[in-house]
């Protein structure tokens, strides 16, 4: 057997193993998904899952612990569904994570977290996206222990997606599905700024 | 300086460097984004960018080179916008990538690619998502050279997102932003099957 054939054979056996494990997966319950790492796609993947959930007629909630006060495409798009199955909350207007007023930052993060807690204790809420929560955890503005306790106690069928760099180890341990978005390259390295529809 | 202070200092300098590079990025043009790797989030991130693009009022196109014939949440959700700014095409009904009829597989993949070519030559199309195209490239069902040539010749302001495992090196070389979605863990490993709103 030549190298290529050996490689194909190994890949085939690996695929069979994964297929068997997937076939054995029969449990239905709410999953906790964490998107972390330095690469692109953490938030956009969360919003893609939100679209899927809305497509299935789910009741959904979003809290954005965002880093800027800019208005984004995803907000403009999903706000339309607020009269129906979607609750959409953006952390304190004009909030930038760049203020020198740490007490104000903590208050804004905690106020957003309290909105999230309301969603995470509401059994009629099928899907909750906590966009960029990890930055608030890394900075210690929202206490990790409290977040873990609330996630553990949430309704058993509720899906939760948490995004942001630097997901704490304890959150990764609790999660069902964790992806590290790894940068291979990024357009800004070639002088291209953030583009509407892609980053904004 | 202790270890932790040194680490913080290194991180701060690294962040400053990245911030300066981002500040220098002033070019606006269509970008080619590739989401690859074995982890979750490749397609959902593409659909999140689609939502952003629709939020900005862009004209958008989607071609799904999908692996199954199941109806997905994203399709149910985004089909609603087909009367307006969105063209949505799913490769041949019932197509599974599992048939023993290779000629039929190639014909289905090429028919979907021809729809994609129409979008990629249409300057009124602001954003094009080619979901799971990479699998067709890896299998050689759609010729890579043709795809690269069409991507290179597309309208200069058009954004394109290509998803799927095993992105070819030449496609990565051509792309502006490439992310590898790396599995840290996946719910199926704990016996949980694909969930509506998350995978479906």
DSSP A75-105: HHHHGGGGGTTEEEEESSTT--S--S-HHHH
Q: How many of the other CB atoms lie within 10 Å of CB of A122?
A: 16
CA B31 to chain centre: 12
What gap in Å lies between CA A54 and CA A146, rounded to an integer?
28
Segment A16-25 mean pLDDT: 81
Set of chain A residues whose Cβ sits within 8 Å of the Cβ of B191: 24-27
Secondary structure class of B61 (helix, strand, coil): strand
More confident residue, A71 or A147: A147
Task: Decide: helix, strand or coil at residue B161.
Answer: strand
Q: How confident is the model at residue B39 (pLDDT cuts 50, 70, 90)?
A: very high
Cβ contact B45–A48 (<8 Å)? yes
- Per this entry, what is the length of chain A? 200
Answer yes or no: is pLDDT of A100 > 90: no
Question: What ipTM is given for this predicted complex?
Answer: 0.89
Q: Is the pLDDT of residue A144 over 80?
A: yes
Question: What are the chain A neighbours of B21 within 8 Å (beta carbons)?
Answer: 188-189
Instruction: Identify all chain A residues contacting B138, using CB atoms and an 8 Å cutoff.
Output: none
- List, as ranges, residues 131-150 from B with C-beta within 8 Å of A: none
**Which is higher by pLDDT, B17 or B41?**
B41
Q: In chain A, pLDDT over 70 holds for what percent of residues? A: 92
Which of B47-56, B101-110, B116-125, B152-161 is predicted least confidently? B101-110
Question: Considering CB atoms only, which of A24, A35, A127 is closest to B191?
Answer: A24
Closest chain B residue to A45 measured between Cα atoms? Answer: B45
Helices (H), chain B: 3-24, 42-55, 73-78, 102-120, 133-138, 144-152, 169-174
Question: Domain A28-190: which topology?
Answer: Rossmann fold (3.40.50)
Map out the domains of chain B as residue ranges. 28-190
Interface test with B, best of A4, A195, A199 (most B CBs within 10 A): A195
Check A25 against B200: CB less than 8 A apart. Answer: no
Q: Is the dihedral of CA A71, A77, A78, A81 positive or negative?
A: positive
- Span B82-95, mean pLDDT? 82
Query: B45, B112 in Cβ contact below 8 A?
Result: no
Q: A80 vs chain B: nearest CA distance in angstroms?
A: 10
The verdict on a CB contact (< 8 Å) between B49 and A193 is no
Q: State both tokens at A175.
A: 């999660």
Strand partners, B32: B160
Alpha-carbon distances of B194 from A12, B70, B112, B177, rounded to whole Å? 22, 12, 26, 28
| A156 touching chain B per CB within 8 A | no
* Average pLDDT value over all residues in chain B: 90
Given a cut of 70, whether residue A1 has pLDDT beyond it is no
| Gap from A113 CA to chain B (nearest CA, Å) | 22
Sign of the CA dihedral with B46 first, then B52, B53, and B55 last: positive
Identify the CA nearest to A115 among candidates A144, A89, A80, A139.
Answer: A89
Least confident of A38-52, A98-112, A117-131, B21-35: A98-112
What pLDDT was estimated at residue A3?
75
**pLDDT, tens only, A39-49:** 999 999 999 99
**DSSP letters for A141-160:** SS-HHHHHHHHHTS-TT-EE
Please report the pLDDT score of residue B42 as a whole number: 97
Q: Could you count the other beta carbons within 10 Å of the beta carbon of residue A156?
A: 8
Interface of B with A in 70-109 (CB under 8 A): 72-78
Chain B residues with CB inside 8 Å of A37's CB?
A: 182
Instruction: Summarize pLDDT for A153-179 with one digit per residue, the tens.
Output: 999 999 999 999 999 999 999 999 999
Contacts of A75 in chain B (CB under 8 A): 55
Q: pLDDT at position A83, please?
A: 87
Given pLDDT bands bounded at 50, 70 and 90, which one contains residue A20?
confident
Q: What are phi and psi of B83, to 5 degrees?
A: -70, -20
């Amino acid at each position: 057997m030549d190298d290529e054939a050996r490689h194909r054979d190994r890949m085939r056996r690996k695929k069979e193993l994964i297929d068997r494990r997937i076939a054995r997966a029969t449990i239905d319950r709410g999953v906790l998904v964490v998107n972390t790492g330095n690469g692109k796609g953490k938030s956009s993947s969360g919003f893609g899952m939100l679209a899927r959930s809305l497509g299935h007629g789910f009741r959904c909630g979003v809290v954005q612990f965002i880093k800027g006060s800019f208005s984004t495409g995803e907000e403009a798009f999903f706000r339309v569904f607020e009269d129906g199955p979607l609750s959409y909350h953006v952390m304190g207007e004009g909030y930038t994570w760049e203020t020198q007023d740490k007490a104000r930052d903590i208050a804004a993060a905690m106020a957003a977290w309290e909105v999230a807690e309301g969603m995470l204790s509401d059994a009629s809420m099928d899907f909750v996206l906590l966009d960029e929560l990890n930055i608030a955890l890394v900075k210690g503005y929202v206490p990790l222990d409290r977040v873990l306790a609330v996630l553990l106690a949430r309704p058993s069928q509720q899906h939760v997606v948490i995004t942001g760099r630097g997901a704490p180890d304890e959150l990764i341990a609790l999660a069902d599905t964790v992806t590290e978005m790894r940068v291979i390259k990024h357009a800004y390295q070639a002088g291209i700024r953030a583009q509407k529809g892609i980053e904004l």
